[in-house]
């Protein structure tokens, strides 16, 4: 069975973008792949988090993974900070990546462009791809399912793995990013040229999985649409409707072609109303299960078990790395 690995940061509230681009695909992969999924809480430190809020967001994210259908019997689910090897390998790999490579990461460039001088940006924002490389390479996954914005970081992991293998002999499997063909980049509902993002906390363009259902439905109804009234997929000329078509396709399981056919000759209003209903029903199911999970104690047990499984794998790999690079002096 091929292995997959991915993670999500527990910063901000979980958005429809995270759900469609990451959580929902993970659930669909668990039948056919060995899955390793973790909460990337070390990554959340790149920007100041209020401790109480971070704790809540972390619990929410674990419960949401489970509520969305991730099965802990089949999937190794754990907190990144429970497996120290991530930070340790992150250091070694951080010493193998160049400043030039890190400077070329689009996410960093975007952040740097927004701040007048780079001095204001935490060093973690610059360095975090190294930690992400370690997250991936510790477990030898074949595939890393991520949204489009993370593709570059997975490609960097591949380059660093190759560099390490050439320098010290074969150690890491070269991972491949896996981007969903539909839903890999869910856009903001008010500005469909921008990614839907959890950092825009006040935005009407971002749907949060745990928001009241009627609020999310309203956001769909007031989503910005394009000129004309026909419903077809054309991200360049009709970014608003194309984004909604992608969301609808993932939530309903219908292809974009089928949806275009279904809504031929109908206006935006009817289309949005149906999408709002489909979204509302899915969110309701998730929220009901989330509420059940949050009132019980299963989450701690699941995380303990997941951490133990992950530690076994990570320790073995780190020991191998440390032997090869000359850190271990015992034979």
**Residue with Cβ nearer ligand TYM (160 or 186):** 186
- Is residue 223 within the footprint of ligand TYM (CB under 6 A)? no
The catalytic residue among 9, 24, 111, 238 is 111
Please name the helix (run of DSSP H) or strand (run of DSSP E) that holds residue 247, with its range, or none. Answer: helix 239-252
Which value, in Å, is the radius of gyration of the alpha carbons in the chain? 21
- 3-class secondary-structure state, position 41: coil
Site for ligand TYM in 153-212 (CB under 6 A): 184-186, 195-196
To the nearest 10°, the Cα dihedral for 102, 107, 109, 111? -120
Of 157 and 231, nearer to ligand TYM (C-beta) is 157
* DSSP character at residue 31: T
Instruction: List all residues 6 or more positions away from 175 whose beta carbon is below 8 Å from its beta carbon.
Output: 5, 136, 137, 141, 142, 143, 144, 154, 157, 158, 161
Residues from 51 through 90 that contact ligand TYM (CB under 6 A): none
Task: Choose which of 3, 4, 13, 18 interacts with ligand TYM (CB under 6 A).
Answer: 18
- The distance of closest approach from Cβ of residue 124 to ligand TYM in the complex, given in angstroms and rounded to an integer, is 11
Q: Which of residues 265-324 bind ligand TYM (CB under 6 A)?
A: none
Q: Of 9, 24, 195, 217, which residue is the catalytic one?
A: 195
Q: Which is nearer to ligand TYM, 26 or 268 (CB)?
A: 26
Report, in Å, the least distance between residue 39 CB and ligand TYM: 9
Q: Which of residues 88-127 bind ligand TYM (CB under 6 A)?
A: none
CA-CA distance, 206 to 245, in Å (whole number)?
Answer: 16
Tokens of 252: 């309903």
| CA-based nearest residue to 240, from 198, 191, 181 | 191
**208 conformational bin, left if phi > 0, alpha if psi -120 to 50, beta if neither:** beta
Q: Please identify which residue in 3, 7, 108, 242 interacts with ligand TYM, judged by CB under 6 A.
A: 7
Give the residue, chosen from 36, 67, 146, 307, that forms a contact with ligand TYM under the rule CB under 6 A. Answer: 146
- Name, in order, each residue with C-beta under 8 angstroms of 73's C-beta and a sequence gap of 6 or more: none
What distance in Å separates the CA atoms of residue 93 and residue 161, rounded to the nearest whole number?
Answer: 9
Q: Is 198 in the active site?
A: yes
Chain residues that interact with ligand TYM, rule: CB under 6 A:
6-9, 17-18, 21-22, 40, 43, 132, 135-136, 144, 146-147, 149-150, 184-186, 195-196
Active-site positions read 111, 195, 198
């Amino acid at each position: 069975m091929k292995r997959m690995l991915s993670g999500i940061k527990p910063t901000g509230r979980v958005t429809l973008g995270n759900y469609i681009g990451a959580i929902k695909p993970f659930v669909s992969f668990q039948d056919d792949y060995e899955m390793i999924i973790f909460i990337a809480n070390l990554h959340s430190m790149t920007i100041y988090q209020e401790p109480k809020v971070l704790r809540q967001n972390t619990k929410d994210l674990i419960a949401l993974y489970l509520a969305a259908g991730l099965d802990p019997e089949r999937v190794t689910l754990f907190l990144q900070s429970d497996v120290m090897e991530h930070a340790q390998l992150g250091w070694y790999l951080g010493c193998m990546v160049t400043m030039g490579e890190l400077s070329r990461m689009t996410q960093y460039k975007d952040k740097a462009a927004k701040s007048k001088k780079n001095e204001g940006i935490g060093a973690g924002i610059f360095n975090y791809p190294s930690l992400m490389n370690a997250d991936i390479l510790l477990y030898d996954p074949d595939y890393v399912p991520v949204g489009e914005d993370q593709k570059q970081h997975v490609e960097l992991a591949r380059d660093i793995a190759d560099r390490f293998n050439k320098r010290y002999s074969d150690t890491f499997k070269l991972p491949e990013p896996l981007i969903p063909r539909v839903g890999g980049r869910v856009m903001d509902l008010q500005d469909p040229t921008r990614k839907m993002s959890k950092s825009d906390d006040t935005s009407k363009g971002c749907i949060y999985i745990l928001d009241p259902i009627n609020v999310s439905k309203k956001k769909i109804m007031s989503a910005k649409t394009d000129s004309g009234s026909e419903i077809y997929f054309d991200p360049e000329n009709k970014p608003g409707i194309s984004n909604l078509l992608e969301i609808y396709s993932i939530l309903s399981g219908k292809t974009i072609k089928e949806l275009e056919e279904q809504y031929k000759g109908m206006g935006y209003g009817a289309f949005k109303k149906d999408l709002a209903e489909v979204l509302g029903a899915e969110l309701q199911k998730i929220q009901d299960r989330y509420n059940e999970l949050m009132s019980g104690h299963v989450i701690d047990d699941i995380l303990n078990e997941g951490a133990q499984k992950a530690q076994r794998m990570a320790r073995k790999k780190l020991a191998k790395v440390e032997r090869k690079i000359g850190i271990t002096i015992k034979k």
